[in-house]
């Protein structure tokens, strides 16, 4: 299972990268705004900085919503760095653009996916990744994990190569549930990744080992 971090914060990306388990980064316009990154050139430069840190897939989202503009914007993003994955919304024009990018060999991430039917369309259009938003479904009392299970079943039935990128992961248990459901990738905040480290028995066990070592070596 691949671990992506869902942020545009360079310090957090570096911290996750230094841990040695980071396989990529996802961003979106809200995450860029949160970091105060605005203006076309600054946004493009920021994507390049992220790519240079991780040297792994970095999803950069288009803000266009018609086919011609999505293609133009996506091609510009893809030309920035070999690691850029063009993030395209699950709308009619987006599906057409996914197919176009797929034919051109440009990697894509189909975002804002909330149903198995949308995920099926994304795979048929040749998306590299599909991003079902599990946290946002949970937020409205829908079952986010159920969507991951259904997409896994559909993709396995037909051997679709599109990778299931479980998005809108909010906490450590989402990661574990995604791993058990067979998601190919998960993207979440740094806290959801570092949360995997924690167990009180690890802490108390280590404390005892170190104390015993000190006692017999002092």
- Residues with a known catalytic role: 87
Shortest approach of ligand E4P to residue 154 CB, angstroms?
20
Shortest approach of ligand E4P to residue 171 CB, angstroms?
11
Nearer to ligand E4P, 32 or 120 (CB): 32
DSSP string, the chain: -EEEEE---HHHHHHHHHHT---EEE--HHHHHHTT--SHHHHHHHHHHHHHHH-S-EEEE----SHHHHHHHHHHHHHH-TTEEEEEESSHHHHHHHHHHHHHT--EEEEEE-SHHHHHHHHHTT-SEEEEBHHHHHHTT--HHHHHHHHHHHHHHHT---EEEEBS--SHHHHHHHHHHT-SEEEE-HHHHHGGG--HHHHHHHHHHHHHHHHHH-
Shortest approach of ligand E4P to residue 28 CB, angstroms?
4
Nearer to ligand E4P, 183 or 216 (CB): 183
Q: Which parts of this chain interact with ligand E4P (CB under 6 A)?
A: 6, 26, 28, 111, 131, 133, 135-136, 167-168, 187
Nearer to ligand E4P, 125 or 137 (CB): 137
Shortest approach of ligand E4P to residue 111 CB, angstroms?
6
Nearer to ligand E4P, 135 or 182 (CB): 135
């Amino acid at each position: 299972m691949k671990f992506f971090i869902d942020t545009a914060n360079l310090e957090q990306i570096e911290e996750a990268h230094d841990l040695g388990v980071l396989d990529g980064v996802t961003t979106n316009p809200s995450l860029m705004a949160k970091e105060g990154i605005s203006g076309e050139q600054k946004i493009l430069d920021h994507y390049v900085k992220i790519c240079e840190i991780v040297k792994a897939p970095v999803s950069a989202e288009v803000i266009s919503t018609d086919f011609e503009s999505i293609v133009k914007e996506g091609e510009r993003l893809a030309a920035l760095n070999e690691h850029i994955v063009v993030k395209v919304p699950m709308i009619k024009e987006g599906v057409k653009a996914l197919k176009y990018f797929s034919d051109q060999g440009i990697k894509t991430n189909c975002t804002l996916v909330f149903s198995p039917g949308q995920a099926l369309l994304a795979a048929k259009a040749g998306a590299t990744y599909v991003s079902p938003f599990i946290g946002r479904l949970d937020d409205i009392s829908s079952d986010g994990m159920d969507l991951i299970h259904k997409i896994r079943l559909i993709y396995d039935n037909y051997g679709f190569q599109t990778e299931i990128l479980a998005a809108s992961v909010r906490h450590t248990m989402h990661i574990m549930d995604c791993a058990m459901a067979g998601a190919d990738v998960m993207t979440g905040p740094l806290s959801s990744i570092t949360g995997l480290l924690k167990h009180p028995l690890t802490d108390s066990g280590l404390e005892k080992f170190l104390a015993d070592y000190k006692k017999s070596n002092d």
